[in-house]
Structure 1
Amino acid sequence: MNRIFFRFFVLVMLSITGATFVIYFAFSRLFGDPLEDIARRQAAAQIFLLEQYVDKAPSDEWLTRLNNVRTVSEVRYDLVPLPDARAALAGGRRAALDRGEIVLDPASRSFWRRVDLEGERYIGSHEEVLHAQNLPIDIGQALKMEALRYVIVAVALLVPIALWSRAHWQGLQALARVADEFGGGKLDARAHMKPSDAAYPLAERINHMADRIEDLLEAQKSLLHSVSHELRTPIARLEFALELLDARARDPDLSKRIRAMETDLHELNALVNELLDMSKLDSARSLQAAPEDMAMLLRESTQALPPSPHALDCDIPDSLGEREVDRRLLVRAVGNLLRNAQKYAAGRILLSASRGPGTLEIVVDDDGPGIPIEEREKVFDPFYRLDRSRDRATGGFGLGLAIARKAVALHGGALRAEESPLGGARFVITLPA
């Protein structure tokens, strides 16, 4: 956001600079060079002396008065041949000299003027030009004055622009904070602005959008929670009925079918429990955090795993230290990653942890088939599974990784999937230390 206002400031400064040059060239074309006008004002005394004293002399006294001026003035007056003067001037100035006008040269602090057009002052005066040098012209000072004038104009423009931009910048910063809080799961975050604020209309629309999103999410969570709870009652009844039926069944085929129905019912019950856990994590606003020994916590997460033929290796140093965590949630997240590894590993699983500068990393590796790069973000979506067959060989509902990521996010951390050195998948939990 700072970049927006920095670009706006640069644009304003470039516009003012461009306007300055446009003004200069426009005035030069319409009214003459402003610098020459400044130089003419600075040399006004010498020009006045020439026009009102020297030129007013009778024809036989013109040179005498010019010499008098030479003796009392620091300006040097020379008479040069007309061809030399014309050769020293450019086309436009040369034409002005031929007309008998005073031609100023601010760069050399001098001016040129023909003595006479008709030769009336003295013999051959129409072939000579008066060249005045060392005039009291200071273009540098004039440029400083002009620069100061434009700086004052620029400041006068930039101050109200800065005040106006500051009000917009503060409003946009407030909206950015609200967006960050809302995106971080704080669904009650709203922008509180006065109707006179510049960003008030935008804030109102963002608040209406946030209200609508919060209502939709709350309705979704409520529906998921209610449906999950409502499913538990018929599931419990079916379990009780199947147990009674199994006790009375004498046909082996019927008993086998009842066992299959019980397995399906247990799977449905597990799905309901997973959905309830997802609902609780979605509605969780804070953690029940307490200082925990991270090495001990990670070892505990391996003890609740179901039996597996795959070897589970642990590389957990005792130097991980303590951290404020919700023990139940973090054990659940690591356990879900380990159970996922048990499903897909070929023979080996590795749980490791390390403490870096400002972070704590927990890594689960397996030597299974791995996860394609384009699927590594999708696997964290609820109900998304790489194995579309949904058979009992892999099991699960596609909720374990989604629950793990939500639990890690509540701790302010991140969970990502990578390629494992073992050849399969690697899941990395990064927690702020």
Structure 2
Amino acid sequence: MASSDITEREGESRETAPSFGESMFALWQRTARRVARYMPKRLYARSLIIVIAPMILFQSIVAFVFMERHWQTVTMRLSAGVTRDIAAIIDMVETYPPGDNYANAIRIAQERLGLKVDLLPPDPLPAPGPKPFFSILDHFLSQEINRQINRPFWLDTVGNSNVVEIRVQLQDKVLRVFARRSQTYASNTHIFLLWMGGTSLVLLAIAIAFLRNQIRPILQLAEAAESFGKGRPMPSDFRPRGADEVRRAGKAFIQMRERIERQIEQRTAMLTGVSHDLRTILTRFKLQLALAGTKMDTKPMEQDIDDMQSMLEGYLAFAKGDASEDTGFFDLEEFLGKLEVEAKLRKRKLTTRLSGRPEITVRPIAFSRLLSNIVGNAFRYAKKVEVTAVHSSGSLTVTVDDNGPGIPAERREDVFKPFVRLDEARNQDAGGTGLGLSIARDIARAHGGDIKLDGSPLGGLRAVIRVPA
């Protein structure tokens, strides 16, 4: 292989290999995504973490510094002081002759030093006991005895006893000393920890109370926006409150809602006027046709007028959208019963299933039109129709399956556009306006939901209606 080829391949590998900075950035992104996956999603929980995490970190650092510096330093000094007292007693015992001096040394140790001292026969020291997993007392006391006395010794610091036993091997005897644990060990550490934990709980309670008051206006604003998106009236107790930024957001939402409602009212009023004028003209046409009598064949003109009136009603229904209707209860079970009657009149096979509560809170007239448009479209082009309604977890899902000709996958979104008709047998008949599915989707979205089309297990079309309820 030529050297130039090797050089080119090495250059390509250097170009394609990621740099150290890019690798670290990719690792940071993956770690951040994993952490974000387990982080709480609600604002209240995240705000609590923002308050609690720094407090816990700060207290952890303070506790570590306290344990590392204060607790260990105090324990070391106390152990050194007790060891000096024991060393002084040993010097007294070994310097002065036996007899009353032993009794004086024992008395001085008990009265002046707070130590209980005994002189035992020169028996061997007990075997070393199990060392505690974590005991700075055992460590520092052993260290000080080795440094100041430097003789064989035995310690018993294990357990919850308030007494520490120390035995030191002398030349012809064994010195046994009982010292209070508080003399050798900083035993008041728990008081500091209790104070730190107690004050933390009090501060957390205050912070939680303030956070709850600050989060509540945001939650109310979100509830009002969600109600508006579902076509429901704004909560009666909603008003801008809380921090200045939240108040500004609440006022902006109220103004936006009022502007949208005024726009809808203006559009509805305009369409009502247009409808009145067009209906007047159509009435004149009918009157002129009636006066014409039998002089001419008026059936084609009458059919054209009926078609114009049907189209006009469809346009108005699409543009109006029933935005002014108030929300109320809609009985799904009763509506499914009406569909069964309609199926018998049309000589169609209809199967209905209802799961969950039959009552839902929607705009009843508009929602009835939504379901009627979807099911009526299925009746028009299929012989067998299945309607399944599932009401659970605050949402309603209505699935309409049929065995009709269906709609190609690439055209399923087109049929929701106004005035769009398919060339083949699906969508609207020759006298329709192409607005049935558009009206149905607008009503579903006005309730905060949507309509999706898919292939049906029956061989035709499946329409899935999902709305919060």
Q: TM-score, normalised by structure 1?
A: 0.63
Distance in 2 of aligned mates of 1:144 and 1:386? 80
SS of the aligned residue for 1:314 comes to: strand
Change (3 A) 1:221 1:42: farther
The one-letter code of the counterpart of 1:387 is L
- Whether 1:171 and 2:217 are equivalent positions in the alignment is yes
The one-letter code of the counterpart of 1:154 is S
Structure 1 residue aligned with 2:323, among 255, 273, 282?
Answer: 282
Q: Report how far residue 273 of structure 1 moved.
A: 0.9
State percent identity of aligned pairs: 20
Structure having greater relative contact order (Cα 8 Å, sep ≥ 6): 2
Change (3 A) 1:379 1:166: farther
Distance in 1 of aligned mates of 2:214 and 2:358? 44
With 204-213 and 36-45 compared, the bigger mean Cα shift is at: 36-45
Tell whether the 8 Å contact from 2:79 to 2:144 is kept in structure 1 after alignment: no
Matched ranges for 1:224-373 at <5 A: 224-241=271-288, 259=300, 265-278=305-318, 279=320, 281-286=322-327, 293-294=334-335, 296-302=337-343, 312-315=348-351, 332-341=369-378, 345=381, 348-353=382-387, 363-370=400-407, 372=409
SS of the aligned residue for 2:250 comes to: helix
Q: Report how far residue 210 of structure 1 moved.
A: 2.0
The one-letter code of the counterpart of 1:208 is Q
Distance in 2 of aligned mates of 1:60 and 1:236? 136
- Whether 1:209 and 2:256 are equivalent positions in the alignment is yes
Q: TM-score, normalised by structure 2?
A: 0.59
Tell whether the 8 Å contact from 1:413 to 1:430 is kept in structure 2 after alignment: yes
- Whether 1:110 and 2:141 are equivalent positions in the alignment is yes
Distance in 2 of aligned mates of 1:410 and 1:300? 28
The one-letter code of the counterpart of 2:272 is H
- Whether 1:3 and 2:42 are equivalent positions in the alignment is yes
CA displacement 1:330-388 (0-9 Å, x = unmatched): 77555433543466x3xx43233467687896735142132527845x6456x163638
Distance in 2 of aligned mates of 1:391 and 1:352? 18
- Unmatched segments (≥5 aa) in structure 1: 78-103, 118-124, 306-310
Distance in 2 of aligned mates of 1:106 and 1:37? 11
Q: Report how far residue 68 of structure 1 moved.
A: 3.4
CA displacement 1:209-233 (0-9 Å, x = unmatched): 2222222232233333333333222
- Whether 1:153 and 2:193 are equivalent positions in the alignment is no
With 283-292 and 322-331 compared, the bigger mean Cα shift is at: 322-331
The count of aligned residue pairs is 376
The one-letter code of the counterpart of 2:437 is L
Q: Report how far residue 240 of structure 1 moved.
A: 4.5
Q: Report how far residue 158 of structure 1 moved.
A: 0.9
Change (3 A) 1:314 1:292: closer
**Residue in 1 aligned with 2:15?**
none
Q: Report how far residue 182 of structure 1 moved.
A: 1.3
**Residue in 2 aligned with 1:81?**
none
Distance in 2 of aligned mates of 1:354 and 1:368? 20
The one-letter code of the counterpart of 2:223 is R
Change (3 A) 1:396 1:75: farther
- Unmatched segments (≥5 aa) in structure 2: 1-39, 120-134, 158-163, 165-180
Tell whether the 8 Å contact from 2:230 to 2:468 is kept in structure 1 after alignment: no
Q: Report how far residue 162 of structure 1 moved.
A: 0.6
The one-letter code of the counterpart of 2:383 is I
Change (3 A) 1:388 1:172: farther
